[in-house]
């Protein structure tokens, strides 16, 4: 384990002790003189460790920036191989570093030391080599450095519809995050002369996010991984496969997760009962417009800020709406061609089912204030590599990675999802529009 990671681990333990003392006092108990002294000591140690971590991180960045190619003078060559596009100390392009790290670990069959040597001898960026030299072993895998994890999260944003629509990402400190929220506002009234001012209290609540483990398995052809040297096209393919698999898993649970352990609670189950509206029986344009307007109205009467609102739908639903015509043959919702519905942007995802309901033909449509939705996420990702394991494909069939000549990359992340105000979500259910298209 690197010095930085050791100090971070030590700081987290100290913070846990400090938080335990703070919780005692928050619960109404008076801290003793010894506990107060312990609190002050913990606070000083955490402050000191934070300063040391900052200096150590700065030193690591300087080491990466000043790294030089490995000497190959025995072979009469003191420069990187000819097939490498840039020098060893050149920083890796954002979005590709994670893919290169994964590809090297796969080539080394999960051996991080061997992967680090491959990075150094193969002319990869110094940041990739240093990351592989300092990663921490996990449960059968390795923990991805924070900066690489951040790069991975950035590549997730355009692929996950919940993230793309504006959900706010926040770090989970020690696996938990509590966000205060106002659930009842004060009221102001006019009063007469010499009349007592009525009492009005604000009511508060909390949104508590706790880390929940999400995992995705990405099968990648060994022929693809076997390419030697730095190949941007191969790295981009690996990065795309990783981010797409993680994004699909996130959307599935952020939209429809039940909230029953170990799953996060998704939009469908955060929505208040009064904000869940079934599709009307009629399919006239007036019926449809009233239904969509009713979803919007639920947020409006709850005084939700509509500036960051948007729709989530299955492609079947939006294509049916796109095909609607009024009595004159004009498109009922021409703005769909520009990516909007009734003045608000929409995103399509097949993670919203179309086989719900007793008939197995129903879907859902969501209208949400995404700026009120929060993704609490652990900054660490864990990856593991296997060439022998089996996995289930999209049809539920077991596939042998060994038989298919594939390498399986398992990515594990920890996060949770929730809105500050559940009233920011409205869900249209029993949507059969487009069934049979």
Which comes out higher in pLDDT, residue 86 or 205?
205
Q: Are strands 363-369 and 390-392 parallel, antiparallel or unpaired?
A: unpaired
Instruction: Point out the domain boundary residue: 65, 98, 118.
Output: 65
Do the domain assignments include residue 394? Answer: yes
Give the model's pLDDT for residue 228.
47
Contact at 8 Å (CB) between 80 and 140?
Answer: no
Structure tokens, 97: 């570093």
Give the model's pLDDT for residue 79.
41
Give the model's pLDDT for residue 75.
37
- Look at residue 50 and tell me whether its pLDDT is greater than 80: yes
Contact at 8 Å (CB) between 114 and 392?
Answer: no
| Mean pLDDT score of the chain | 80
- Look at residue 170 and tell me whether its pLDDT is greater than 50: yes
Give the model's pLDDT for residue 135.
65
**CATH number of 249's domain:** 3.30.2320.10
Instruction: Point out the domain boundary residue: 43, 65, 87.
Output: 65
Are 159 and 306 within one domain? Answer: yes
Note down the domain range covering 342. 140-186+199-437
Residue 373's pLDDT band (boundaries 50, 70, 90)? Answer: very high
Residue 210: how many CB atoms within 10 A of its CB? 16
Are 231 and 341 within one domain? Answer: yes
- Look at residue 229 and tell me whether its pLDDT is greater than 60: no
Write the pLDDT tens digit of every residue in 402-420.
888 888 888 888 889 999 8
Calculate mean pLDDT across residues 92-119: 75
Are 306 and 426 within one domain? Answer: yes
Q: Which residues contact 179 (CB under 8 A, 6 or more apart)?
A: 206, 207, 208, 209, 374, 420
Write the pLDDT tens digit of every residue in 383-401.
788 888 888 877 778 989 8
Which comes out higher in pLDDT, residue 250 or 268?
268
pTM of the model: 0.66
Write the pLDDT tens digit of every residue in 171-198.
887 778 777 765 555 566 677 777 776 6
Are 328 and 423 within one domain? Answer: yes
Do the domain assignments include residue 74? Answer: no
Residue 322's pLDDT band (boundaries 50, 70, 90)? Answer: very high
Are 54 and 156 within one domain? Answer: no
Are 145 and 22 within one domain? Answer: no
What is the total count of domains within the chain?
A: 2
Are 209 and 298 within one domain? Answer: yes
- Look at residue 302 and tell me whether its pLDDT is greater than 50: yes
Q: Roughly what angle, to the nearest 10 degrees, separates helices 97-107 and 126-134?
A: 60
Instruction: Point out the domain boundary residue: 31, 65, 99.
Output: 65
Residue 342's pLDDT band (boundaries 50, 70, 90)? Answer: very high
* DSSP states along 239-296: HHHHHHHHHHHHHHHHHH-B-STTSPB-HHHHS-GGGEEEPPS--SHHHHHHHHHHHH
Q: Which segments of 66-111 does DSSP mark as H helices, in order?
A: 97-107
Do the domain assignments include residue 122? Answer: no
Calculate mean pLDDT across residues 67-82: 41
Do the domain assignments include residue 208? Answer: yes
Are 50 and 182 within one domain? Answer: no
Do the domain assignments include residue 110? Answer: no
Do the domain assignments include residue 32? Answer: yes
Which range has highest mean pLDDT (111-120, 178-187, 287-296)? Answer: 287-296
Are 221 and 332 within one domain? Answer: yes
Are 150 and 56 within one domain? Answer: no
**What does DSSP assign to residue 332?**
S
Which comes out higher in pLDDT, residue 203 or 361?
361
Are 319 and 424 within one domain? Answer: yes
Do the domain assignments include residue 323? Answer: yes
Are 279 and 363 within one domain? Answer: yes
What is the maximum span of the chain, computed from C-alpha positions, in angstroms?
Answer: 98
- Look at residue 222 and tell me whether its pLDDT is greater than 90: no
Do the domain assignments include residue 295? Answer: yes
Q: Which segments of 356-423 does DSSP mark as H helices, in order?
A: 401-404
Q: Which segments of 66-178 does DSSP mark as H helices, in order?
A: 97-107, 112-121, 126-134, 146-156, 161-164
């Amino acid at each position: 384990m690197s010095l930085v990671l050791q100090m971070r681990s030590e700081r987290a333990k100290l913070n846990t002790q400090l938080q335990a003392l703070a919780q005692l006092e928050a619960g109404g108990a008076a801290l003793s003189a010894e506990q107060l002294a312990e609190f002050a000591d913990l606070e000083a140690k955490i402050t000191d460790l934070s300063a040391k971590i900052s200096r150590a991180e700065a030193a690591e960045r300087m080491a990466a920036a000043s790294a030089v190619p490995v000497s190959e003078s025995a072979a009469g060559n003191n420069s990187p191989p000819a097939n490498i596009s840039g020098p060893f100390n050149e920083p890796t392009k954002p979005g590709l570093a994670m893919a290169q790290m994964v590809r090297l670990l796969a080539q080394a069959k999960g051996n991080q030391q061997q992967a680090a040597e491959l990075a150094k001898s193969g002319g990869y960026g110094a940041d990739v080599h240093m990351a592989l030299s300092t990663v921490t072993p996990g449960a059968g895998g390795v923990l991805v450095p924070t900066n690489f994890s951040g790069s991975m999260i950035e590549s997730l944003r355009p692929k996950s519809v919940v993230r793309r629509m504006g959900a706010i990402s926040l770090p989970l400190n020690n696996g938990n995050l509590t966000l205060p929220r106002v659930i009842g506002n004060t009221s102001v009234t006019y009063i007469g002369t010499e009349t007592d001012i009525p009492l009005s209290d604000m009511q508060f609540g909390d949104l508590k996010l706790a880390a929940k483990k999400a995992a995705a398995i990405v099968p990648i052809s060994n022929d693809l991984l076997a390419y030697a040297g730095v190949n941007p096209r191969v790295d981009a393919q690996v990065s795309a496969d990783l981010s797409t698999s993680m994004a699909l898993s996130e959307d599935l649970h952020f939209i429809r997760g039940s909230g029953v352990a170990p799953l996060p609670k998704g939009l469908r189950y955060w929505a208040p009962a009064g904000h869940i509206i079934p599709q009307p029986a009629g399919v006239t344009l007036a019926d449809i417009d009233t239904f969509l307007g009713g979803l919007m109205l639920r947020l409006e009467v709850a005084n939700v800020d509509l500036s960051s609102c948007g729709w989530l739908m299955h492609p079947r639903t939006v294509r049916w709406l796109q095909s609607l015509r009024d009595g004159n043959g004009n498109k009922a919702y021409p703005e769909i061609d520009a990516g909007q519905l009734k003045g608000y942007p929409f995103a399509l995802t097949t993670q919203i089912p179309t086989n719900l309901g007793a008939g197995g033909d129903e879907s859902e449509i969501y209208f949400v204030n995404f700026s009120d939705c929060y993704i609490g996420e652990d900054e660490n990702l864990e990856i593991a590599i296997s060439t022998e394991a089996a996995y289930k494909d999209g049809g539920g069939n077991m596939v042998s990675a060994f038989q298919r000549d594939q390498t399986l990359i398992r990515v594990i992340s920890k996060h949770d999802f929730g809105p500050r105000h559940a009233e920011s979500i409205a869900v249209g259910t029993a949507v059969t529009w487009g069934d049979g298209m």
